[in-house]
Each structure stands twice: as structure tokens, then as C-alpha cells.
Chain A
């Protein structure tokens, strides 16, 4: 138990239902290639993995530091483009993944620092608006510089040999193909990143961030330089988002504005974090899992309802499979009012 507590940085899920839910998600992801068949479900599992990292890094900002950023997809995109363009330009090797990742990390951190310097020292509300503006400029830039980024079409690239679907590894009686190796690479990277972030928020540094969130004036009076702490938190979140972008690019073998930079994805992350539960990283796990599952499977359910209510007015219209985001939007607004700590807060209250 002690080891487990150490791995979780002394911040266990708390609450039986929550622990159970998290275990189900963890086991399903860990054994996804064995439990589910077909590439569709493996895609869903991988998507959950990198969105957990992305949502958790966003929670670092929103839930733990109390600042709203709309530039998180920008850092996600920097990671995706970093790895993707390196693999595209330098050839499919492990070293190009490393070079691309390192370049993306440096770029993301410097950019986060610059944006933070402009806006974090004035007011948190400035930060929200300025990040929105910077992110939209960045996404237009990425689609305009088509010579480098491939424009709206993005770039397809090849992965190192061991990660390709055609690669087969024979271990005793089992044959593992490259796609499964890639999945586990992403799974373990996401797991390590998640535990690392859990470590950060439970460190003294993380406590200061929460103190600033709860009462900035008092934190400053206690002698903490709030701007410095906020800027570091902002940079850490940006770095984690960039790494999530690398994982995304590795899985999709593609990078482009629609999958990494669009404002829709920004809204998705916001929904994940708020519905899952702000201010706890476990909320990000649950939010990401629910959101990705809803995106993939809720549409089928809604199509059924839409068919069943075909004769009635309005109802088929709002239950149209394409309206799933409408329902999540309503759920989002309701959860801000009634469950400020999201699903996790709900499950913890009913211990």
C-alpha cells in the first residue's frame, strides 16, 4: 500500500465508487488490445490516453491555478507539429521523434512564458482573452505556412519501423504487431505523465498554486511571488500539453490544424475538465474517458432515439446524432452551477 501511495503521491482517489470507476478505466486501457477487438476500439483507447494527459495538463491551469487559458490547443498543436514535421522532414527514426519533441517542448515553454509575461501580471481575465487571440492567430499561421506545415491538409508521415502495423514481434506463442507496440508506448507515456503531474500538484509548489487560486492576495502577503508561480504553472501545463500533442501525432501518423489546433478541441478539453471535475486530476481522467466515449458512441444512441421519436415535432431535431455537443454543452452549464467539482466531486461526496 505504501508503494501505491507513493506512486499516487499520497493523493488517492478517495471514495469507493470513484476508485472503482478509475480502476475500470485503467484496466480497460491497460488491456485494451486484449479486451476489445477491432481498430476502432483501439483508436478510442489511444485517444482517451492522450486526451487524459491533455485534460490533466489543462486542469493544472484551470483547476489548480485558477486561470482560464484558450491557448491550450496551441501547445497541443506545437507538440503534434513538432513530432510530425520532424518525422516528415528527417525521416522515420526514433531520433527524429526525440528532436521533434525536444524542439516542441522548448518552443512551447518559451511561447507560454512570453504570453504569460504579457497577460498574467495584469489580470486573470486578460489572460483568457489574450490567449484566445494568440491561439487563433497561431492556428491561422499554421494553415497559412503550407510550405512547412502542409496547410489545411496537414502532413502524413511514417513512424519508425517498430511502430508500423506491418511490424511483427514474436514473443513465445504471441505475435504483437507494431500498432499494439505504439499503443503501449502511448499508454505508458500517458501514465507516466499523469503520475508526474499528480506529483507536481501534490508538491509544495502545487500547494502554492492552490493557495494563489483560493486567495491571491493572501498568498502574496505570505511572501510568494504569485506571478512567478503562475508563470511556472503555465509553462508546465504548456509542456505537458505539447507532450500530449506528440503522443497524438504518433498515434494518428498525421498532424494538421483540424485535429490539434481548432477551437472546437479547446472547447472539448474545457468540457472534459469541467464535467470530470476541476481541481482534481482524476477528474481529467474521467472527463476525457466520458467525452471520448460520448463522441464515439453517444451518437449511435442518439440516432436510435431520433428514429424512435421520428413522428414527433422538434424532438428528432434535437436528438439528431450531430447534436451530441448540444447535450454536452447543457451538461457543462449545469455542472458549473450544480457540481462545481464535477463527477469526481459528486462521487467523493457520496462516500
Chain B
């Protein structure tokens, strides 16, 4: 933090109101749901789903913030990540099925690492081949990334077929942990932990490292960063690969969450991801985090209270937020 000397700028006013939305929604839901144990289960499930969506959406929103590129093909990385992990499952079958927490965790981490590596490489190729020729042209970007999505999805169908593939959760993460009369699925706890770790790592990198400083500066004013002698293009390729890898990680976690993969899963998740990114404010990681939790938690409560409304609740939430702040919760300054 800057020293409060004569050179320090006036501190930016922190905007905490959006951060209070998630607890607020949870509190409103408590009396409506009635039973506290059900409420805890619902909340944890919502948080787990929200974390997965956040992991996927954060890459998208950073890429947009930094380079003004909206990648509609982001969903392809979700699918590819999940299928890459599934392809490696036979190799680790023994350790995944073993009844040992450590072995399971190691195997899971290996799957995740492989999926992230594959999607990062794919992200590099995607950026070079698909996106680079159309910088600064929004319309073409949307079209071309959609084209990339179609081609990737079709290639996956060509290799794996259009049918659903099972992806069972490792043995040790199955079942629930019981606290009193509250049952929480283990895998959901794992998802929350991984999500929090990623969020913390992201905040640390963005706020405490030189690269993070450059990324934030690039989001604020890319030309100025260039003028100071940094290659924003190189930075961008790195962020794009990281974003793709995060989508791959999200895909693996989503696959385990659903315990099944389909070639269209990426696109299905992307609908939620777009809602989250719009709610959070395009380009804002913090907004994305709050948006993801808000969407997932709200969807879970309405799914329990009024199943018929559940599908509309996301749209309704988005409409309300946009009425309140028409550029999302944390609008990025210049956009």
C-alpha cells in the first residue's frame, strides 16, 4: 500500500456493497427454506457450483479485460479439458479406485495437471490461429471463435462419439461428511477448497506480483503499458493460455460434479458463464467471483423452493443487477 506521504494519491473508495449480496441472498433464503440443515446443504452445493463457474469465467473475463477479446469459443476448452482428463482415467484407474485419500488426491491432481496442460497448449494454438487475425474487430471475433467452438466440438464427436461418457468421482471423495444433522457431499467441499485456492492465488498474483501489476495496468490502459516498453501481446498470450487452462480445470471439475461428459457440455456451461461475466462486469475478476457465487446460490435456492422458476432465476437476477448497475457489479473503468 502506498505510504501516506505527500505523493500518495487519494485512496480509492472501496465498493463493498456487491460483496454483501451473496450473504444477503443466503440470509433471505434461510427462513424461506425453513430447515437449517437443508439450507446448509443447499448453500454448500451452491458455493461449490459457483466456484467451478468462477474458475471458468475468470479466464474469460481477464482475457476480455486485457485485450478486448470476447472468446465465445471458451466453452471448447471446458469440453477439451474434461475429455483430456477422461482420456487419462484408465491410466490412473487403480489409484482412483483405491480407498486411500492420498492416492486419490494425487491421481486427481495428475488428471487436472494434464487437462490444464492440454488446454493451455490448445489455448496457445487457438490464440495464434483463430483470434490473432481478427484483433479489434468484435463482430469477427465473435463469429470466428464460434467457428472454432463448432470445429472443436465436431472433432470431439468424431473421436469420442456423440454419446455421454461416465466420469465417476474418485472413491475417497464420494459420499458425504456429516456434521450433526447436516450432510455435505465431500466432492463439493473439495470443489469449494480448489475454488478458494484459485481465487486466492489469482488475487495474490494480480495484486502482489510484477506480472499482476502489468496485467492490471494493461486492463486499465494497454497503450500506456506498451509505451512504457512492455510487450502487451506477449502478456496477453500468457493470460490467454492461463485462462484456457483454468477453463480446462473447470471442465474437469464440472465433469466430476456431473459425473458425466457430453460433447456439448462446454456450451451448456457457457450460458451460465456469460451470465456471470455480465453480472460481474466485463473484465473484473472480483465481480466475476461474486457474480458466480450469486448465480449459483440463487439457482440452488430457487431450484429447491420453486423448481419451475429455477431456469428463469438467472435471467431475472441478471436483469435486476443490470437495472441497478447497467455495466455489471464492478465495471472496469474505460469500458
Contact = CB atoms under 8 A, between A and B. Distances in A.
A123 B335 contact: yes
A126 B148 contact: no
A336 B140 contact: yes
Interface in B133-188: 133-134, 138-140, 142-144, 146-148, 150-151, 154-155, 157-159, 162
A122 interface: yes
A340 B146 CA distance: 15
A197 to B, nearest CB: 20
B326 interface: yes
Contact of B158 (A126, A133, A137, A323): A323
A150 interface: no
Interface in B297-321: 308, 311-312, 314-315, 318-319
A326 B326 contact: no
* Interface size range on B against A: 35 or more
B311 A141 contact: yes
A263 B267 contact: yes
B50 to A, nearest CB: 17
A6 interface: no
The interface size bin for chain A is 35 or more
Contact of A326 (B72, B138, B155, B308): B155
Interface string B63-77: 000000010100000
B154 A326 contact: yes
- Which of A122, A140, A263, A322 is most buried by chain B, counting CB atoms within 10 A of its CB? A122
Contacts of B314: 133, 137
B199 interface: no
Nearest to B308: A144
A133 B271 contact: yes
Question: Is chain B's binding surface mostly helix, strand, loop or mixed?
Answer: helix
Contacts of B157: 322-323
A151 interface: no
Interface stretch (B212-220, B251-259, B275-283): B275-283
- B140, B143, B322, B327: residue with the most chain A Cβ atoms closer than 10 Å: B143
B130 interface: yes
A270 B140 CA distance: 12
Contacts of B134: 336-337
A320 interface: yes
Interface of A: 62, 66, 68, 118-119, 121-126, 128-130, 132-134, 136-137, 140-141, 144, 263, 267, 270, 274, 317-318, 320, 322-323, 325-326, 328-330, 332-333, 336-337, 340
20 contacts: A68-B139, A68-B142, A122-B322, A128-B72, A129-B277, A132-B270, A132-B274, A133-B274, A133-B275, A133-B315, A134-B315, A140-B311, A267-B146, A267-B150, A270-B143, A320-B158, A323-B157, A325-B154, A329-B150, A336-B143
Interface of B: 70, 72, 130, 133-134, 138-140, 142-144, 146-148, 150-151, 154-155, 157-159, 162, 267, 270-271, 274-275, 277-278, 282, 308, 311-312, 314-315, 318-319, 322, 326-327, 335
